[in-house]
Every structure is written in C-alpha cells, then in structure tokens.
Amino acid sequence: MKNAVVICIGSDKVSGDMLGPLVGSALREDYALPFPVYGAVGESVNGINLGAYVAMIKRRHGDSSVIAVDAALGKEADIGRIRLKRGGIKAGGALDRKTEAVGDLGIVGIVAKESDPKDVMNALLAVPFEFVSSLAEKIAEMIYTVLVSEA
C-alpha cells in the first residue's frame, strides 16, 4: 500500500481492551512505522472520540487505505486468534453499540469469550495483560511486515 493509515481502537485502562493501544504503541515505538498511526497507550481512540478521529482521518488522509485494529470477543476456541475483516470493523460491537464500520480492513484479536452484554466489562477486565500484550505484538509485527514490504 502506498498510502495507509492505522487506527488502533480501545482503552488503555482495561486489560482486555488494551489491544489496540498496545498495537499502536508498538507500531510507533518498536517498528517506527512510516505511516500515520492513531491510537496508542496514553492516546486512546475509544467510543468517546472515535467519530472525531474517523472524520479527521477522512479529512487528512482521504486517499489512504485505513486499517482498523481492535480487540473482540469470540468463541472460546477462537481466543488468541487474529481475524481480518474486509470493509473494516464495528468498534464497540461487544457492548452492543450501533456504530458504522471503521476502516477498509479490520484486524481484530479475540481476547475473551463472548458473553452477555451486561458482562462484557467483567470479561474484558479478566483478560491477563501478558496475553493481550503478546497478541498485540503479533498484530503489530504483521502490520509492519505487510505495509513495509509493499511500500
């Protein structure tokens, strides 16, 4: 991809939702990705500010392909897997939020088992940080490898 932007969605205050911010930090600090990266530890892109970030990315990077990264809940057998989704991702889906898809390509890491919407926060709080950190590192390496090898 000649022009790419990565938006890493999640909260750095909840272990199971830290996947996006950890990926963003790794892409910036460990890989020095030569593309814009929005969302990192200390600079969360979340349900509160996601709309503003999406609008800004369209304004500043309208001709760029957008890769969206987020944590997700899934089947128990899928925990730890990475899923690619054409057409982006709907952030906050586990919380039953009605949002539009973000990005041209979505990358989600399955961090916990799907649960009742009332129990989502408990499920996310119970995810070990080390597990999320390891999954984030795999995703950051994957993004770097694909974007830099095609640049």
* pLDDT given for residue 95 in this prediction: 46
Mean of pLDDT values over 12-25: 95
- How far apart are the C-alpha atoms of 41 and 26, rounded to whole Å? 9
* pLDDT given for residue 2 in this prediction: 74
pLDDT of 63 > 50? The answer is yes
Contact between residue 76 and residue 113 where contact means Cβ atoms under 8 Å apart: yes
39: left (phi > 0), else alpha (psi -120 to 50), else beta? left
Mean of pLDDT values over 17-45: 97
Task: State phi, psi for 23 to the nearest 5 degrees.
Answer: -65, -45
Q: Which tens digit of pLDDT belongs to each residue from 98-115?
A: 567 899 999 999 999 987
Alpha helices in the chain, H assignment, sequence order:
19-25, 50-60, 120-125, 129-150
* pLDDT given for residue 92 in this prediction: 66
Contact between residue 103 and residue 89 where contact means Cβ atoms under 8 Å apart: yes
- HSE (side-chain half, CA atoms, 13 Å) at 76: 1
Q: What percent of the chain stands above pLDDT 90?
A: 77
Residue 40 belongs to domain with CATH number: 3.40.50.1470
Question: Which residue segment(s) compose the domain that 144 sits in?
Answer: 4-150
User: What's the number of domains the chain is made of?
Assistant: 1
Contact between residue 101 and residue 89 where contact means Cβ atoms under 8 Å apart: yes
* pLDDT given for residue 96 in this prediction: 47
3-state SS class at 81: coil
The residue with greater pLDDT, 90 or 33, is 33
